[in-house]
Structure 1
Amino acid sequence: MKLLVCAMEASSNIHLKELKKYLSDDVELYGVFDKELGNPLYDLTSLAIMGFVDALKKLRFFFKLRDEFVKLAASCDKVLLMDSSGFNLPLAKKLRETYPDKEIIYYILPQAWAWKKGRVAKLEKYCSKLCSIIPFEGEMYSDKNKLTYVGHPLLDEIKEFKQELSNTNKIAFMPGSRKTEITNLMPIFRELINKIPNKEYVLIIPAKFDDAYIKKIYGDISEFTISKNTHEALIDSEYAFICSGTATLEAALIGTPFTLSYIAKRFDFFIGKLFVKLNYIGLANIFFEKMGKSALHSEFLQENVTVDNLLNDYNNLDKKSFFNNSKLLRDYLKNGSSQNVAKIIQN
């Protein structure tokens, strides 16, 4: 089987790598994905965007990429779209118009429950099968035959969960994976470690970053121990300070207490607040609200990301309560999704 794949985000490729373990050897991947999985059309680093302004600058390139996908689809049996709805939804439309009978599978659905609810109708119109990783998002879809809750992929990818609260003397720091996130948070993290003495400060850096890029973007990291294994570092740490994103859910599931902090470009943050009507930005907190429970962790955004706020949260968080709630979260999300999605693709 020739499978056309569009996985443009780093997180999508983590899920894709796990999914590939359950695909038959005769399934060949074409399209855009991590080069470790085959021969993609483009290096993922050339596709990375940060915010609305950056997206506008690359608009012409993405139109060209869409047309390349449509052309390539002619020789592929099925299509797998992962996350990145800004690109993948228009691509799904073009594919459906060009190939009315082509099977299009969407895995990691756009967060229509957060904003742009109109995407639900488009997904149902353009896609053949919808693989949901959020327990409650199925409530928004009318065509129940297309949508399947497959479980959350992190429950596949996390191989070890904390069995008890740990006091390891290690604190993890995750300033994100995008340049702006890193440059905004690292100065605060450097100042923060001076307020929490006699600890080992573990800086978790994406494995794809080489030494030259790290030196250029992160600044002085001489006080940190470097780790490129997120799950291992979180297991070993008694606490973490994390930029918003998938990493917050990883820490919540593993059972490592943490503080979420995020500083966006002012324009992007303004646009986000305008359209996204949620009480929280952390996925674990969103899930807990749906479960009728209080927030699992604190969230500090924009000007509220200060050394004092982060330090106070570290000192005052009820770590025992956090740990017990992390086990409830695992039960809520049920099983992992990779094997279920593989069956859907190969059916």
Structure 2
Amino acid sequence: MAKRLYVVAGELSGDAHGAGLLRALKTRVPTLEVRGVGGPQMAAAAGAGLRDWVEDAAVMGVWEVLKRYGWFKQRFAEMLDELKAFRPDVLVLIDYPGFNLRFAEAVKRECPETRLVYYISPQVWAWHKGRIPKMARLLDEMLCLFPFEQPLFQSAGLKTTFVGHPLVDELEEKRLPGVTRDDLLVGLFPGSREREVARLFPLMIETAKLLRAWRGDLKFEVPAASVKLAAQIRNLLVDTNADEWITVNAGESHSLMQRACCAVIASGTATLEAACYG
């Protein structure tokens, strides 16, 4: 009987890491059956059994979650029903702790035979160490990215494996051969969530206007993580009369990081990615 895996990721960074994991698992176990939710990269790696939901699921802050509580409650129930019918051997939860830890608790109760594995541990060492005993009770194994995380979870009795950070390998695959930086190109990276873009991009536009007033030959590009975000970004550019001189590119963030001479970047995974490209 083929092995079955259910996987949950709720953000674009988790989608990228999850896609790499799924590709590796599919190589090792070609008959692996995969169900769950993630983003476009995971959907491409897993096939028809995995749904792309990150554009709707990647919200930020308590208020945004509360505004969409009914939606999240419905998705939670649908996914739990799907998992119970699928009966996977393993559930892999990728980051996204606010949702995933609650989902782990429900699966532990409803499907005790399913092994629960967490990939990319929540940064509880920084913001909520009190969650570690609960995680040790719920999970069968933690796969962590940083070596200092391993003893934190192991001391609570949770089997923990340090697997290393996949970001360097992922970025190397997207490195452009022979690319040279454009000394006049400035990258604007307002984030991958609607709320981030709404809050940060207007300030980035104003900054770009000041730079353009200082150097009229500067060029500006902004990558959009999705079609929906591209439309939001274009609307903001039109509203601020900047649509004729700031270019929007869908899904070109890694290319822009390698071509631009400098960038303004929302705090998060993108800052680390840009640093890796130098």
Deviation at 1:172, TM superposition (A): 0.9
1:205 corresponds to which letter in structure 2?
A
Aligned: 1:222 with 2:224: no
**One of 173, 195, 202 as aligned partner of 1:180:** 195
CA distance in 2, matches of 1:221, 1:131: 44
Cα distance in 2 for residues equivalent to 1:126 and 1:190: 45
Contact 1:173 1:242 in 2 (8 A): yes
Q: Give CA deviations for 1:133-159 in whole Å, capped at 9, x if unaligned.
A: 133222422157611111112112102
Q: Whose helix proportion is higher, 1 or 2?
A: 2
Structure 2 match to 1:51: 61
Match of 1:169 among 184, 189, 194: 184
Structure with greater contact order relative to length (CA < 8 Å, sep ≥ 6): 1
SS of 2:187's partner is: strand
Q: Which residue of 1 aligns with 2:267?
A: 244
Q: Quick one: distance in 2 between partners of 1:146 and 1:119?
A: 16
8 Å contact from structure 1 (residues 182, 218) kept in 2: no
Contact 1:84 1:110 in 2 (8 A): yes
Residue 205, structure 1, aligned to residue 224, structure 2: yes
1:155-176 CA deviation, whole Å, 9 max, x = no partner?
Answer: 121023999x956332211011
CA, structure 1 residues 90+215, in 2 after alignment: closer, same or farther (shift >3 Å)? Answer: same
Gaps of 5+ in 2: none
Match of 2:17 among 10, 15, 20: 15
TM-score (norm 1): 0.66
Q: CA deviation at 1:79?
A: 0.5
1:30 matched to 2:30? The reply is: no
Partner Cα separation in structure 2 for residue 135 and residue 161 of structure 1:
30
Contact 2:194 2:229 in 1 (8 A): no
CA–CA distance in structure 2, aligned partners of residues 72 and 211 of structure 1: 32
Distance in 2 (alpha carbons) for counterparts of 1:21 and 1:13: 12
Give unpaired runs (5+ residues) of structure 1.
256-347
**Are 1:129 and 2:166 counterparts?**
no
Q: Take 1:218 and 1:89, find their aligned partners in 2: how far apart are those partners?
A: 38
* CA drift at 1:104: 0.9
- Contact 1:82–1:108 (CA under 8 A) maintained in structure 2: yes
User: Does structure 2 retain, via aligned residues, the 8 Å contact 1:162–1:254?
Assistant: no
TM-score (norm 2): 0.80
CA distance in 2 between counterparts of 1:212 and 1:184 reads 16
Distance in structure 2 (CA, Å) of the matches to 1:232 and 1:180: 24
Question: For residue 152 of structure 2, what is the aligned residue in structure 1?
Answer: 140
In 1: Cα distance, 2:96 partner to 2:158 partner: 23
Is 2:142–2:158's contact at 8 Å kept on the other side of the alignment? no
Q: Deviations over 1:170-217 (max 9, x none)?
A: 221101122232233223222322333222212122144376444334
